[in-house]
Amino acid sequence: MKDQIFKAYFDATQKVFNLMLNISEISAHPSEDFKCDDEVDIAIGITGDLQGKVIYRFPVATSLNIVNTMSGMQFDAVDAFVTSAVSEIANIISGNVLSALSENNMDCDILPPVQCSLDDDKEYGINTSCRIDTAIGEVCLEIRLNRAA
Amino acid sequence: MLWKDNYEIGVPQIDEQHKELFRRVESFLQVLRSQVSWEEKVQKVNETLEFMKGYVVEHFRDEEEYQKSVGYPGFEAHKQIHTGMVDYVLEFSKQYEQSNHDEQLIQQFGGKLLAWLINHVAAEDQRIANYARKKGDELK
């Protein structure tokens, strides 16, 4: 189950980076190697057969590269525009994941993206994370989900 | 440039509308991100928002007509995505008016619009093109 869900997120990230940013190669690595002091953390809540959230950790440099690539303009600092754009990317990736989960008979929905902290006291049956490397920087995914009772 | 030729779906009317939409959004972003004061930007920003409210509805209607004409099976789901975006633009527009043209709000709108538009045209609309191409090949 954990591998199946991770694969759905990895594949969706690859698809979205390819279509929207023209980046075809991405690779997964252990999250222990993800070192970042300054990042934009976006949570997408999940409801339905799976419940919890996935946090997309975009380092500032990655966030700026994403927006620079999409817009063809130069963004030098994270502001409301950049945060909103990367939140929408997280939303689009999660939307793609829903289709993959649905094909595996898991009926889920997502909540609008929100900026969040990483702190969380809840217990999750599926609690995994990974660092994804791309040509425009790293992204870390924190997957925190429970199966619905 | 925001527009990329690989976004074309091969239907001249729709492709022209997409290009116009991208031109307008690009010009909007250039004003939004320019270094001039908010007072100088606000008129152009408001004009673009008004344009978007009208043009997006018109474009979505034409695109949906095309989907129906080719019997696109994803028509209902695609229409729902259009409706969701129109509702978002109208709701945002209301909030923006009520906030007396708050710059932070419009910056948020700009970021979402950029990512949404690229994904919609590069991913969702390409599915229509792929379907139409496949159908055309089958009829040959």
Cα B97 to Cα B75: distance, rounded to the nearest angstrom: 33
Cα A86 to Cα B115: distance, rounded to the nearest angstrom: 8
Q: Nearest CA to A26 among A129, A130, A128, A138?
A: A138
User: Who among A16, A20, A81 is closest to B110 (CB)?
Assistant: A81
Q: B115–A79: do the CB atoms touch at under 8 Å?
A: no
**B135 has pLDDT over 80:** no
Residue that is written with structure tokens 């307008």 in the block:
B24
**Mind telling me how many Å the CA of A32 is from chain B's nearest CA?**
29
Residue that is written with structure tokens 């950049």 in the block:
A82
Nearest-Cα residue of chain B relative to residue A69 = B2
Among A17-31, A39-53, B48-62, the least confident range: B48-62
**For A52-70, what is the mean pLDDT?**
97
Asked if A20 is an interface residue toward chain B (Cβ–Cβ < 8 A), one would say yes
User: Who among B104, B107, B115 is closest to A70 (CB)?
Assistant: B115
Q: A88–B112: do the CB atoms touch at under 8 Å?
A: yes
Q: B29–A73: do the CB atoms touch at under 8 Å?
A: yes
Cα A97 to Cα A107: distance, rounded to the nearest angstrom: 11
How confident is the model over B71-119, as pLDDT tens digits? 999 999 999 999 999 999 999 999 999 999 999 999 999 999 999 999 9
How confident is the model over A85-140, as pLDDT tens digits? 999 999 999 999 998 999 888 999 999 999 998 888 889 999 999 999 999 999 99
**B18 has pLDDT over 90:** yes
Q: Which CATH superfamily is domain A2-147 in?
A: CheC-like (3.40.1550.10)
Cα B56 to Cα B21: distance, rounded to the nearest angstrom: 8
Domains of chain B with CATH codes: 13-25+40-139 (1.20.120.50)
Give one DSSP letter per residue of A92-117, joined into a string. HHHHHHHHHHHHTT--EEEPPPEE--
